[in-house]
Amino acid sequence: MNLDFLQDKSILVTGGTGSFGQRCVRTLLAQSLAKKIIIFSRDEMKQSEMQATLSDPREQLRFFIGDVRDLERLQRAFAGVDYVIHAAALKQVPMVEYNPFEAVKTNILGTQNVVNAAIDQGVEKVILVSTDKAANPANLYGATKLCAEKLVVNGNVYSGEGGTLFSVVRYGNVLGSRGSLLKIIEQQRPSGELTITHEEMTRFWITLDQGVNFVLDCLRAMHGGELFIPKIPSMRIKDFMLSLAPECRLRTVGIRPGEKLHEVLVTVEEARRVKEFSTHYVILPEHDDWYALLHPHYAEGQAVADGFFYSSQKNGEWLDMTRLYELLNKV
């Protein structure tokens, strides 16, 4: 991965103490010549613990305590920043369903604050880390992330020509992140029984490193207004669990409120504006003028067939046990 574009640049990660944020910061420290790497998050304990585990001989790191709900704090944090990776979000589906006002404040209004602060402070590029749950959302988390995507993509209209560029990355379930299925299996395995919501449920899978590398590559390549989606494999939840804990029995507990049987990364409606490449898809903006402006940058991409959609149960790439273990060795 080429991170030469970050040389002598300042980059800020919102939600910098989360699973994605921490792996992203470590990647930046190891592989980039960034002038400054800023971790922006609201939990001082997590910042303290993270700081204690990081080696920074060039003193690139800065830790900012703050909340994306606080526009004034974002304005201060973004001063002199070239690139922002916006990964801060409330994402645990059951908790978000029970605390909807809080999810709206962080995921939607917080994203609006990020857009406004970036424009006001002259940030060069902002990229949002989104989720497959934003495509045809069935729960509040997905709905708030869909709103966040719309705010970021259309932030380009507010920034105007020569202003801040905004784009989005959308991908699936992350292996090994906090609250992931791996963690649940670890917790339940000693009992000899694993709970599953539906035996036919499927999900997309990506490792943290793959997610970080894809986001950074999209940050380099973006022109503003795109939504980037990696081509990643699918697997049934049942097969995933039995591959990792074959000695356990499964107990079906039923699909939870707001949970989908299968996930979607590109909807039928979005497919009309999709360009396909060997490793990813790019969804171009809805506005005709904007689409025409971006189209030359993606002229080599292939249009997808009418009725195309990219979902976890219709995926052309599936994980078997061998490939699953190969991915897990990289977690």
Domain spans in the chain, listed from the N-terminal domain onward: 4-172+206-231+265-308
Is the pLDDT reported for residue 150 higher than 90?
A: yes
pLDDT at residue 58 is higher than 70: no
Question: If you average pLDDT over every residue of the chain, what do you get?
Answer: 93
Q: What is the pLDDT of residues 258-304, one digit of tens each?
A: 889 999 999 999 999 999 999 999 999 988 778 777 888 899 999 99
Selecting among 9, 91, 125, 133, the annotated active-site residue is: 133
Residue 206 token pair: 């990506």
**What was the pLDDT predicted at 8?**
96
- Place 41 in a pLDDT band, splitting at 50, 70 and 90: very high
pTM metric for this prediction: 0.95
Q: Give residue 179's pLDDT.
A: 64
What per-residue confidence (pLDDT) applies to 327? 82
Considering the domain 4-172+206-231+265-308 in this protein, what is its CATH number? 3.40.50.720
Mean pLDDT of 17-43: 95
In the predicted structure, residue 175 carries a pLDDT above the cut 90: no
The mean pLDDT value for 211-217 works out to 97
Does residue 133 carry a catalytic annotation?
yes
